[in-house]
Structure 1
Amino acid sequence: MRIGASLFLIAVGAILKFAVKANVNGVDVGTVGIILMIVGVVGLLITLALMNTRHRTDVIHSRTGTTVIAPDDPIDPVDPRY
């Protein structure tokens, strides 16, 4: 679930909880709204956590070939590959 889908679920849940006053047999619309808001918040938190744990790698093309450097690797400015 991405950020947009999470925000959509939160919005739909809030509408069902606070704006809809309809009565449906066997279904509490307010409870469905709360469930959708909870699912949206959990999805948003998981999405944000996964976005922060991704590692980005930088690719540097040189004359001798392609060198891949992770962002955590120290870069030696004396090294001729750079």
Structure 2
Amino acid sequence: MRIGSSIALIAIGAILAFALAPGIIPFLDQVLVGYILIGVGIIGLIISIAMSNRTRRTVVERRGDPHTVVERRPEV
């Protein structure tokens, strides 16, 4: 789940929970479904942000001989 889909779930959940009158969808507690979608969206947003910050960067340096490559990976 990416950031955009998490925000979409939060928006759809907020519409179901707060904007629609209760009872429009028969046999379904739309307020509860809205709260569930908001919760799932928030959890997905937190995970997406955490995963995007975990990317490791690699620095590649070329020294002297064009066929020699020195690769450094910074410690996290």
TM-score range with shorter-chain normalisation? 0.7 to 0.9
Residue equivalent to 2:71: 68
Deviations 1:4-55 (A, max 9, x none): 0000100110011110115223211111110000000000011111112221
- Please tell me whether residue 4 in structure 1 is matched to residue 7 in structure 2: no
Q: Secondary structure at the match of 2:53?
A: helix
What pairs with 1:46-61 in structure 2 (closer than 5 Å)? 46-61=47-62
Q: Secondary structure at the match of 2:61?
A: strand
Paired residues, what number?
Answer: 72
Root-mean-square deviation (CA, aligned residues, Å) is: 1.5
Tell me if structure 1 keeps the 8 A contact 2:22–2:31: no
**Larger Rg: 1 or 2?**
1
User: What amino acid is aligned across from residue 8 of structure 2 in structure 1?
Assistant: F
Work out the percentage of aligned pairs sharing the same amino acid: 42
Please report the TM-score for the alignment, with normalisation by the length of structure 2. Answer: 0.81
Residue equivalent to 1:27: 28
- Distance in 2 of aligned mates of 1:6 and 1:35: 12
> Cα offset for 1:71?
2.7
